[in-house]
Structure 1
Amino acid sequence: MNVNNSRKAWIGLSVCFVLLAACQKDNFDPRKPETVSFPENSSMTYGEQLRVPLPEGYGHDDNVQVDFSVEETEDYVFADGSTLEQKLIKAVRYDVEEGVIFVDSRLLYPTGASSVTSGEVLPSQFIWTINLSTSARQDAGLGYLHVTIDPANVAIEGTEQDAGMAFAYGLHGEEASTFSLSAAEEVKKGADWHLPATEFVEVREGKVVFDPSVSEGKGEEETVVNSQPSLVKDGFVVASTPFRMIFIPEIKYLFGQYYPDLDITIDYSTVHIGLSNGYLSAAPVFYPEKYKSTFRLKTVEKDGASFDNASNIFEVEESSGKVRVKPSESLTAGSYKVYVEAISSTGLVFVTTLTLGMS
């Protein structure tokens, strides 16, 4: 075999190997980070902190590094020039000792919240891109954390709850009806009480105040006022509760007679009876009758001083409000004033008296 030809063949093979190696280097695809799974949707209430453990295999690595970015969430610019992206980055952190990601809702806002000033709406989800790296690998894992934040609740003192709505009853009258508002301290921080201004209701110094004119000229009709007092931070509602106020007609409650067509009242609240005799009064008037519910004895006085009714000599019929006096030789002559409470079907409590002169 010709030596020159062999040398040429060897040189040709060497060139091929060099070219192949160069091509492989140009097409080199670095190892991509593996996809790591976080909960599809994590939710919390404004004021809380969310705890999200790292995926299995990462949480116990002291050398793991967690980096956050928020390109997947649409940005928003606030009135002070700060952005939603900046707030999202500040609200999330990784705790090395616990191996847990924390999201602090107090540094954010409820998702999907509308601005009370501009009407603009925040995203329905906040999304963080999470890059995990270890000492062995720079790009070990990649995942996404989806979080929704619900508004917190506002408590309204002196109300009841029905299907998530606070409600209360009041009377048509000349005085304003007032209810105090409250919320958790972490919810109130940095927020102000807010209620869209209307003719009849407003928030004043942490209270919902209904103007007495709300029920003017309503007669025997009920007046319903719906409102939603809230806490607003940077223009966005962070806590609220729907509130329904129901004003009912003025209640006539007395021992006597009432003629609604003439608006005439006859008072029979003082009666003279024989000492030590039994007695059963007439039922008190409660008008409008549709609000009548139950009655109970509140207290008894004798000649202006408290009377010990431990023996239950004085009783009140629960269904009618009639006052019953049991025959008793222990009673002495004097004026006995019986205080009778009426609990209306709306939960309002009214008090009237029946005075029994015994001699």
Structure 2
Amino acid sequence: MKIIMKPTFTFSCFIILLTLLFSSCKKDSPSDQQMIQEEASDFKLVFGQDTTLAFTSLGNIKDPVDYVLSFDGTADIKISTSINLHDRLKDAIQIDRENKKIVIKSGLLYPNSEVSTINGVAIPPIYKVALRAVAKDGKLLAEKLISFVLQKSSVHLLRSNAESSDFIYTLFSDKASSFELHSEAARIAGTSWNVNSKGTDGETVKIEANSVVFAGTSGSLTQKDEKSYDLEPQLLKDGFPVASGKIKFIFIPAIQFVYGTYYPDLNLTVKYNYLFVDLQAGYVSKAPAFYPESYKGKFSIDKIEWNNKPYDNSNSIFSINEETGIISTKAKNDLPKGSYKLTVKATAKHGLEFTTPLTLVLE
């Protein structure tokens, strides 16, 4: 009897070949039957990954043969007061006799070695299942051990661009901040979110629906130091973790970005972002204020408008120093008179983006 594993879910594909070799035997002489058993072939699944194992019939057996599963090799722990692990195994692992397949639906099980948050019991470190070939009179003709390890699924942070991440920088806010979590295991019925997390000052964090939620921050958001939270969001099923991931949230002070001057002690901004200048002579601006300085990254011109209409800067008459944010124009250019509004973008060191206007008027 030969068993081949065929994944049916979109995870890494692998094939496991388990071969059972049997010699010819006399029906009424069990001692004459020779059965060659191989060592158990272990494989791994991720929670939610469904798999099939194909097997062949016994050779040289004329009488009807049935195939049954035994879970005696796996400890039958208590999942709840009314359900044991073997109950779950019987639902999750079944034989498709017509197609000679064993079907494993791992979403009905629990990752190995995980401990229940309800009763403290642990799932055995490996699942062991015996496939048995049984004659019509109940005689055991052959047995093959199938073993596998079920691992937890992953949890990530879902960004606005639909990409997943394990960390994020964000600004302090006086309103609640919400961040969406993603896990393939969330599609499995009966799962619910849980989170183990502490901030630098011991604040707890909660999960609502499928999002991590931080309460709003009171006080001056410009004077706060950076604050980080190390979270380990989990998906639980019947009290057992079935998915988890470590995610770092880093909150940074409100960014001040303006063409002008910022006085942090007073939290006061003086803007110089609407100026009458001679752009045709070759203008050079002052550097913008960016606070806190430690977060300053690169500067770029996002767009330019002339008299409220898009301006074509293909000749690069306007340029910017990406390190300092200083705007300049080529000397002796043919710029027509009017108002030039530049939208300047600052990309902070941690990837956050900010924009500020600078309007230059040529009379």
1:140 aligns with 2:137: no
Q: Which residue of 1 aligns with 2:180?
A: 180
Please state how far the C-alpha of 1:70 moved relative to its aligned partner.
1.0
Q: Which amino acid aligns with 2:361?
A: G
Question: SS at the partner of 1:90?
Answer: helix
Q: Which of 263, 270, 278 is the equivalent residue of 1:266?
A: 270
Q: Which residue of 1 aligns with 2:195?
A: 195
1:73 aligns with 2:77: no
Change over 3 Å in CA distance of 1:82–1:275 after alignment to 2: same
Please state how far the C-alpha of 1:159 moved relative to its aligned partner.
8.4
Q: Which amino acid aligns with 1:117?
A: I
- State the aligned residue count: 328
Change over 3 Å in CA distance of 1:200–1:296 after alignment to 2: farther
Please state how far the C-alpha of 1:177 moved relative to its aligned partner.
2.1
Q: Is the 8 A contact 1:53 1:59 kept in 2?
A: no
Comparing 187-196 with 82-91, greater Cα deviation is found at 187-196
Determine the C-alpha separation between the residues in 1 that align with 2:119 and 2:254. 42
Q: Which amino acid aligns with 1:309?
A: N
Change over 3 Å in CA distance of 1:36–1:53 after alignment to 2: farther
1:236 aligns with 2:240: yes
Q: Is the 8 A contact 1:228 1:242 kept in 2?
A: yes
Please state how far the C-alpha of 1:343 moved relative to its aligned partner.
0.9
Deviations 1:14-56 (A, max 9, x none): xxxxxxxxxxxxxx974567253364321110111233344x8
Q: Is the 8 A contact 2:257 2:289 kept in 1?
A: yes
Please state how far the C-alpha of 1:125 moved relative to its aligned partner.
1.3
Q: Which amino acid aligns with 1:51?
A: T
- Structure 1: give runs of 5+ residues left out of the alignment: 1-27
Q: Is the 8 A contact 1:196 1:202 kept in 2?
A: no
Determine the C-alpha separation between the residues in 1 that align with 2:59 and 2:85. 28
Matches within 5 A, 1:316-327: 316-327=320-331
Q: Is the 8 A contact 1:187 1:239 kept in 2?
A: no
Question: SS at the partner of 1:229?
Answer: strand
Deviations 1:279-312 (A, max 9, x none): 2222212222221121121111233343333433
Deviations 1:322-354 (A, max 9, x none): 222234755322221111111111111111121
Q: Which residue of 2 aligns with 1:19?
A: none
Comparing 167-176 with 184-193, greater Cα deviation is found at 184-193
Q: Is the 8 A contact 1:106 1:187 kept in 2?
A: no
1:332 aligns with 2:336: yes
Q: Which of 332, 349, 353 is the equivalent residue of 1:349?
A: 353
Matches within 5 A, 1:1-359: 30-31=31-32, 34-37=35-38, 39-54=40-55, 58=58, 65-79=66-80, 81-96=82-97, 99-133=100-134, 138-158=139-159, 166-184=166-184, 187-196=187-196, 199-213=203-217, 219-327=223-331, 330-359=334-363
Question: SS at the partner of 1:221?
Answer: coil
Change over 3 Å in CA distance of 1:236–1:103 after alignment to 2: same
- Structure 2: give runs of 5+ residues left out of the alignment: 1-28
Determine the C-alpha separation between the residues in 1 that align with 2:317 and 2:39. 71
TM-score under structure 2 length normalisation: 0.78
Change over 3 Å in CA distance of 1:343–1:186 after alignment to 2: closer
Please tell me the root mean square deviation across aligned C-alpha atoms, in Å. 3.4
Determine the C-alpha separation between the residues in 1 that align with 2:326 and 2:59. 72
Q: Which has the higher helix share?
A: 1
Change over 3 Å in CA distance of 1:127–1:286 after alignment to 2: same
Please state how far the C-alpha of 1:166 moved relative to its aligned partner.
0.7
Change over 3 Å in CA distance of 1:197–1:87 after alignment to 2: same
Q: Which has the higher strand share?
A: 2
Greater Rg over alpha carbons, structure: 1
Q: Which residue of 2 aligns with 1:13?
A: none
Q: Which amino acid aligns with 1:148?
A: V
